[in-house]
Amino acid sequence: MNYTWRKRAGARWLRLHTDDLTRRFGATLALIERPGSKRVVLEISCRTTKRAQALKAEFGGSVEQLAPDWLRRFARQSLSKPLRIGTRLVILDTPAQRQTSARALVIPAEAAFGTGHHATTAMCLRLLERLSRPHAPGWRMLDAGTGSGILALAGRCFGAGEVLAIDNDPLACATAKRNARTNRLRHVEFSTGDILKQELTGEFEIIAANLFSELLIQALPNWSRHLPATGYLILSGILRSQEKSVVRALRRNRFTVAEVRRRGKWIALLARPSAQKGS
């Protein structure tokens, strides 16, 4: 059986609890915003009623038992139109949707892991496609909080020779590895671990992270040590209300904001090391 813990929360509750829930539950935590609503719906998928009820006892909310065929129903309902990323890539839910000469990346719809249609992921993908155009094949990429692996795999399609993809949820890494096999993409290292504690080696021409703003801010000091002067940082998962705090953190860590993209309540930031970095 599978269960979902669900709670509607306002901005103050989110500020107090989101960081803790993210550390504890990783990619099993989903935040759902609806246009015109000031409250956000939080959902966490649980394998046992005991875990779901423990969340209810700790945070309130409600528990729902899912039907045995919930994943099949979810995948069918989530089937989306192909998502075109520039002229070089199209994201599909199934191979049957392939109707283009562009490189196709198949990312099946699965609970808690993105297929690219969420605003934050789509903005990251389009920035990644544009930034990778001038690079000769073989550049290096870090994907922090990989989820379905979509950004890491897109990076390989755009010419990255080596990609390190990190997620703290073993299920996310297993899903990402399966997606890599489905698309016959190699040279992506999927690592289960805490992005704040992961030991990185060498430099990455592009670092992409679609995460909660609190995690992004905490990770910036480490990432700044592994981004060359010509490198770029793609950040998303940031609400418009959080833009100023993330921009301030970037400046503290000697990054310059090169571009801000906005879709609905979400933003994506493109940053690069400041000219004075390392001086």
Whole-angstrom distance, CA of residue 102 vs CA of residue 106: 12
pLDDT value at residue 100? 56
pLDDT value at residue 69? 54
Of 144, 132, 168, 148, the C-alpha closest to 91 is 148
Of 267, 272, 270, 238, the C-alpha closest to 255 is 272
The DSSP code sequence of 66-90 is: PPTTHHHHHHHHH----EEETTTEE
The residue type at 169: D
CA dihedral 206, 210, 214, 217 (to 10 degrees): 10
Residue with more model confidence, 163 or 28: 163
Residue 44, SS3 per DSSP: strand
pLDDT value at residue 92? 85
Distances (CA, A) of 274 to 33, 207, 220, 247, 253: 34, 16, 13, 13, 9
Please give the helix or strand (H or E) that residue 130 lies within, else none.
Answer: helix 119-132
pLDDT, tens only, 123-143 = 999 999 999 999 999 999 999
Quick check: 98 pLDDT over 80? no
Please give the helix or strand (H or E) that residue 249 lies within, else none.
Answer: helix 243-252
Distances (CA, A) of 128 to 1, 133, 255, 278: 38, 9, 18, 25
Please give the helix or strand (H or E) that residue 257 lies within, else none.
Answer: strand 255-263
pLDDT value at residue 24? 86
The residue type at 257: V
The residue type at 153: L
**Helix (H), strand (E), coil (C) string for 1-42:** CCEEEEEEECHHHHHHHHHHHHHHHHHHEEEEECCCCCCEEE
pLDDT, tens only, 130-188 = 999 999 999 999 999 998 999 999 999 999 999 999 998 888 888 899 999 999 999 99
CATH number for the domain running over 79-273: 3.40.50.150
Q: Are 179 and 107 in contact (CB under 8 A)?
A: yes
The DSSP code sequence of 165-212 is: EEES-HHHHHHHHHHHHHTT--SEEEEES-TTT----S--SEEEEE--
pLDDT, tens only, 39-57 = 888 888 888 889 899 999 9
What residues contact 73, with CB distance under 8 A and at least 6 apart? Answer: 67
- The whole-number average pLDDT for the span 226-245 is 95
Q: Are 234 and 127 in contact (CB under 8 A)?
A: yes
Whole-angstrom distance, CA of residue 168 vs CA of residue 146: 9
- Token digits for 205? 């021409």
What residues contact 174, with CB distance under 8 A and at least 6 apart? Answer: none
